[in-house]
Amino acid sequence: MKFKSAVDWWYYLVIVAATVIVLFAVIPLVRSGELSIVFGAATIIVSLGLPVWLLFSTNYQIDAKSLRIRSGPFVWMIALDEIQSIAPSKSVLSSPALSLNRLEILYGRGKRILVSPANPVEFVAAVNQATRTKVH
């Protein structure tokens, strides 16, 4: 079962702000000749590409044995039998979550990760069903 990340308004604001900042920084440098068009275009693509990639690719997939978390070029694989608890969190720590309405997953030996499925109730139910235990 696959769950998309919820996306808060602030994430869209980050993309717009990054676009404005990068364009205002790069375009004058290219016009003045201090920066080549190729390097300027590469800077714009790299600076704006990652946030957009994260927007379209952040998801959480549950199969029979694992939870696969993907966010842009980053992938985490968590064995379902290692999940100890899932609890609501409002943490602002960096994570594969595009919303501040997050779930903190504790797993393994003291590891934790924050996710923000668009439907957290269904997500927790799917983990519980896949593990055949009650994770809370």
pLDDT digits (tens, 9 = 90+) for 66-95: 999 999 999 999 999 999 999 999 898 889
Q: What is the mean pLDDT of residues 94-112?
A: 95
Distance CA 131, CA 66 (A): 9
Give me the percent of the chain exceeding a pLDDT of 70. Answer: 97
What are the residue ranges spanned by the domains of the chain? 7-55, 60-131
Whether the per-residue pLDDT at 136 is higher than 70: the answer is no
110 vs 136, which has greater pLDDT?
Answer: 110
Please list, residue by residue across 7-45, b when 16 or more beta carbons sit within 10 angstroms of its beta carbon and e when fewer do: beeebeeeeeeeeeebeeebeeebeeeebeeeebeebbe
What pLDDT is stored for residue 132 in this prediction?
72
CATH number of 60-131: 2.30.29
Whether the per-residue pLDDT at 4 is higher than 90: the answer is yes
pLDDT single digits (tens) 7-54: 999 999 999 999 999 999 999 998 999 989 898 889 888 888 989 999
What pLDDT is stored for residue 44 in this prediction?
87
C-alpha of 121 from chain center: 19
What pLDDT is stored for residue 5 in this prediction?
97
Distance CA 113, CA 65 (A): 18
Distance CA 72, CA 53 (A): 5
Q: Please, what is the average pLDDT of the chain?
A: 92
